[in-house]
Structure 1
Amino acid sequence: MLGGGMMEKRIEKARSFLKEKELDAIFIYSYENRRYFSGFSGSNGYLLITNDYCGLITDQRYTEQAKEQSPHFEIITQGIDPFSTIQDVFKGKDISKIGFESESVSVHLFNRLKSIFIEYEWFPLTKELLNIRKVKDDAEIEIIRKAIAISDQAFAELIPLLKPGMTEKEVAVELEYLMGKLGHEGPAFGTIVAAGNRAALPHAIPSSKIVNNNEFLLIDYGVKYMGYMSDMTRTIVLGSPNEDLKKYYDIVHEALEKSIEAVKPGMTGHELDAAARNVFIREGLEQYSLRGLGHGVGLQIHENPRVVLDSEEILEPGMIFTIEPGLYVPGKVGVRVEDIVLVREDGCEILTGTPRHIYI
């Protein structure tokens, strides 16, 4: 459970948002925002936050857990019909304008809420709560550090096991087993393992393809720890790939290094993306890159800030995101290398600890 002071600060962020948007309440349904503002990690629940009230509605499976994890909220156990419980909780509250997560609340849920509370004005929220979460507090930074440490350790234990003749699926299974032994809530996303020319598929699903000598092996993976994600990619060199392949490898690593050197508060996501993209343009390879350099990481594997083409989002101290330049030449080669960084006042701190250059 996070410290009480940290949760109080998050609730104050929500109340400042209410004041800014001239709302009386926020109805929160998504798992990530529910966990962020209340600390509750159960799979079912609804939050109501007003200027003077915090309520968490959940079912009887989670009542005791909610009391333990969310001491700043009134815990209400719903009956068989959650809507009657929601109606009871909302009753008597001074609400006329209420915000809701329009990208998470289903049409069915929204229509039921509108039919029950016909007197309310419902205001759709899209990225607003996500933007509240994009600058990480000290507790979040430490949890993400731990998630990354688990990833780094699992990868270090995987390297001695890798050898030509394994299949991509075997590599993925070994890595996920090692991550599991070190303790986590599961993979952050579907582990990507791609050998040889299959690495040209940015989100390749591990297959029965054999990992051969004298080619690259791309591994992209992460863990979920206390709700937070890690994310890392390494392109491993097996044997002695030809000079043409090595060229792509060197260019991508240069793009990563240039990007990390460029990070500073006040720049836009677009400007940071350009640091890597300019390397690819110089080499005449920009067409083989993706449209973005990286993404925020937190309670979701992809969140703000977005470090992509045309992004005007301003980088701020406390933001955590990936930097993952890549080149993907169909049928020939794929190379990606990815670190997670934390923006500091004078640049950035690299949180990923695994060496970038790995040779087998």
Structure 2
Amino acid sequence: MKLKEMQKLLKKKKLDMALFFADDPNIYYFTQMQYLNFSALCIPSEGYPILAVPKMDMARARSESRIKKPVCFEKKKKITSFLSEQLEKRKVRHERIGINKAHMTVMHLSRIKKGLKGRYYDISEECKQIRGMKHQEEIRHIRKACRIADSAMQMVINNFRFSTETDVEAALDFYAKQQGADLAFKTIVASGKNSSFPHHTTKHKKLQKGFCIIDYGVRYKGYCSDMTRTLYLGRPTRKEREQYHKVLNVQEKAILTAEPGKTCGEIDRAARNSLGERFTHGLGHGVGVEIHEYPSFGPESRDRLEKDMVFTIEPGIYMNGRFGIRIEDTVLLRDRAVPLTKTTKELVTIRI
């Protein structure tokens, strides 16, 4: 995926190569192989990449990886030493090396520097930007992930006979597995006063009356979806309905105003001005091989929207210890923003 763009970036920054290890999302992005443990990917500014995998993954890499002719290393040997030998063998310069510091610990980076001599430069932001615009295959996978999430959410709404927050979580998570998907993140089910915490930890406790936030996403063929719906358990008051529709109107307006060329900051600020201080997080984020990617929506964000970006729009309001409301869709930007998650956003009320 976009190897030429990466090599063009390396040349522009006068780097000899990019180097990614193990669970770095860029390894999946460029190889399209999941769960490559103890692996490394070297992308030189010119020439063909080197994918180094342990013996146990060699057969799978040969059949599944977009990077052809992977090389096998024995785990007894340090991978950096092995890479150094491969680079010398292929006469690849490695004096200036780009890395993704966002997915490295200080200790890991120190070990790499000892095993593979060179000067290291962080290209984590540039990697995110390369992954920002999606090509058609990526969009197909994200659409499928959104359809699975929609089906799961609709299943829960239609069959809401749950006793605890974890009951709802389990039903959603099991449905994803049945459809051949994984979870994109830990499902959030926050009922009653728990909904006042944006990142509530789902608890094995009785569902409380009031607003119930369900934040759910799946990962299909390595690509994520993300959606949030707020239900009401019981009978909402007129004021509660008004609060809900205020958030919904802000969300729909933000989707309508998201256009190529606009900055994420200006869209975020418009939503924030409508909701006030009770809106305590960013308006949204990019979605792809990671659940949080480029671009990022915040009042100071200068990230600029471009066609074929996929991101979320998720305004919310939170009254500490009382209630919260959040509505979120994954959207694809064409000439305008097109929601990919389609579960109803009318306030669903459920008798408990």
Could you say which TM-score interval applies, normalised by the shorter chain? over 0.9
Query: What does residue 46 of structure 1 align with?
Result: 40
Task: Compute the TM-score of the two structures, normalised by the length of structure 2.
Answer: 0.92
Which structure 2 residues correspond to residues 1-360 of structure 1 after superposition, within 5 A? 7=1, 10-29=2-21, 30-44=23-37, 45-50=39-44, 51-79=46-74, 80-81=76-77, 82-91=79-88, 92-118=91-117, 120-163=118-161, 166-184=163-181, 186-213=182-209, 215-280=210-275, 286-345=276-335, 347-357=336-346, 358-360=348-350
State the alpha-carbon separation in 2 of the partners of residues 67 and 147 from structure 1: 26
Shift of 1:337: 0.5
Shift of 1:252: 0.7
Is the 1:195–1:217 Cα contact (8 Å) retained in structure 2? yes
Task: Compute the TM-score of the two structures, normalised by the length of structure 1.
Answer: 0.90
Is the 1:42–1:62 Cα contact (8 Å) retained in structure 2? no
Deviation string 1:102-137 (CA, Å, 9 cap, x unpaired) is 22233333333333443x222222311111101111
Compared CA separation, residues 192 and 246, structure 1 to 2 (3 A)? same
Is the 1:296–1:320 Cα contact (8 Å) retained in structure 2? yes
Q: CA RMSD in A?
A: 1.7
State the alpha-carbon separation in 2 of the partners of residues 24 and 240 from structure 1: 63
The one-letter amino acid of 1:348's match is A
Is the 1:158–1:178 Cα contact (8 Å) retained in structure 2? no
Shift of 1:223: 0.7
State the alpha-carbon separation in 1 of the partners of residues 281 and 105 from structure 2: 30
State the alpha-carbon separation in 2 of the partners of residues 331 and 105 from structure 1: 37
Structure 1: segments with no counterpart, 5+ residues: 1-6, 281-285
Is the 1:148–1:351 Cα contact (8 Å) retained in structure 2? yes
The one-letter amino acid of 2:131's match is R
Structure 2: segments with no counterpart, 5+ residues: none
Residue identity (%) = 34
State the alpha-carbon separation in 1 of the partners of residues 334 and 218 from structure 2: 24
Deviation string 1:128-162 (CA, Å, 9 cap, x unpaired) is 11111011111111100000111111111111221
Compared CA separation, residues 241 and 100, structure 1 to 2 (3 A)? same
Secondary structure of residue in 2 paired with 1:208 = coil
Aligned length: 342
Is the 2:169–2:189 Cα contact (8 Å) retained in structure 1? yes
